[in-house]
Structure 1
Amino acid sequence: MSEPAQTPTEALLLIDLQRDYFADPELERCRGDLVATCNELVRVAREVGVPVVEVQTVHERDGSTWTLTMHEDGQGVAERGTEGVQRVEGLEPGGAEVVEKTRDSAFFGTDLAERLQRAGIDHVVLCGVSTESCIAASARDAFALDLGATLVSDATASVDWSEHDHTLSMLRTQHRQDVVTGAAVVRRWRDGAAGAEGDRAAG
């Protein structure tokens, strides 16, 4: 296995790309394109040495981890051992580390922040669903933890595209977080890897 092209300071987070979260017809409609963009990001992340973390919501079937709204509805989601908790069809995370959560934010009640700190990560690239809930909550917590964040506009999605657009605009304005396409992230990573290779050759 070749050495990574650069010392990673970024990590790619794949959030809630699980079957239950694509039950809505609108998310199912865009699933193919969204997953394809995520897979391309994973592939290039592996090429340049950027760590990949798959963040999954996993609830217990006895209701002990349910949210207030789940209790109100009398129904859980993404429950351990069910088909709905499994990763969405087509996703190829490439042996990513897995972090389990029970609330919207990838950081709430998990050891994700500690894992990133140990790895020297100071910036996260966020993909997944849904933009206005789990993506936004994770982005806000990243800001609170002094982590830079990039939101991938074509690798995040919502059942309501006006909410998607509003949320990304708000995060860009309020927290000054980057909102770019998957292709732009790929270019940045490859440019960084090429620059690191050039520095080594010059040295």
Structure 2
Amino acid sequence: MIAVLVIDMQNAFFEDPALQRRREEVVAACNSLTSAAREAGAKVLLVGTEHERDKSTWSLNMLDDDQGFIFRGSEQAEFVPGLVTAEHPRMAKTRDSAFMGTDLGMRLRNWEVDTVILAGVSAHNCIAQTAADAFAHNIRVIYAADAIATENPEAAEGVLRVLVREYRQRVLPLEEILSVFEPA
């Protein structure tokens, strides 16, 4: 079984100019991906980062800088306009990996998922960390190339090259991924 994980498609991340320039394109690709998955009976999970104002969920860099980010219930934490969200379950995380401190592993086991398709932002950190942890859980990974963005292309290229080579993960264009969901 395949599941699509749409990661951090939230207003806060698209405040960065590099991501802002690609927002409409990535939203459209994510919507195409989730629509095809839903029609094929595959699972879709929207994953977003959320923190508490009291610092209890802050990461080390946030604590070092004494600067919080993406507080629960804030406009920053909302999914970007245009992203289809209504029918999909959601999960909040506080770290780059969607597995760290969440029930993602249990959800995927309950859904009998052996492969995840990753979409969203940012390729060099949250996508990559989730992909590495998926490998640790014996879950195969496909990166939806057209539905992933980053504000640091050089870092993204380097980390994805390692994950593809070492963990046998695949980076595929949206057109090829969508064909996976088409009836045989």
TM-score (norm 1): 0.88
1:50 and 1:93 mapped to 2: Cα distance? 15
Q: Paired residue for 1:95?
A: 87
1:94 and 1:121 mapped to 2: Cα distance? 22
Partner-residue secondary structure (3-state), 1:83? coil
1:125 and 1:26 mapped to 2: Cα distance? 23
Q: Paired residue for 2:56?
A: 64
Gaps in structure 1 of 5+ consecutive residues = 1-8, 196-203
Q: Paired residue for 1:47?
A: 39
Q: Paired residue for 2:108?
A: 116
Task: Write out aligned runs for 1:1-12 (5 A).
Answer: 9-12=1-4
Instruction: Indicate which of 158, 165, 173 corresponds to 1:166.
Output: 158
Partner-residue secondary structure (3-state), 2:35? helix
TM superposition shift of 1:146: 0.2
Structure in which a larger fraction of residues adopt helix: 1
Q: Paired residue for 1:5?
A: none
Q: Paired residue for 1:179?
A: 171
Partner-residue secondary structure (3-state), 1:44? helix
The residue identity in structure 2 corresponding to 1:26 is A
Alpha-carbon deviations, 1:71-124, whole Å to 9, x = none? 112111111121100001211134111111100100110011101101111110
Alpha-carbon deviations, 1:115-136, whole Å to 9, x = none? 1101111110001111111000
CA RMSD after TM alignment: 1.0
1:89 and 1:66 mapped to 2: Cα distance? 26
1:161 and 1:105 mapped to 2: Cα distance? 19
Is this contact kept in 2: 1:42–1:93, CA < 8 A?
A: no
Alpha-carbon deviations, 1:123-177, whole Å to 9, x = none? 1000111111100000000000000110111111111222222222221111100
Is this contact kept in 1: 2:96–2:125, CA < 8 A?
A: yes
Is this contact kept in 2: 1:57–1:102, CA < 8 A?
A: yes
Is this contact kept in 1: 2:50–2:93, CA < 8 A?
A: yes
> Paired residues, what number?
184
4+ runs deviating over 4 angstroms: none
Partner-residue secondary structure (3-state), 2:117? strand
Q: Percent identity?
A: 41
Is this contact kept in 2: 1:20–1:84, CA < 8 A?
A: yes
Partner-residue secondary structure (3-state), 2:12? helix
Is this contact kept in 1: 2:124–2:152, CA < 8 A?
A: no
Gaps in structure 2 of 5+ consecutive residues = none
1:44 and 1:95 mapped to 2: Cα distance? 13
Instruction: Indicate which of 31, 56, 67 corresponds to 2:23.
Output: 31
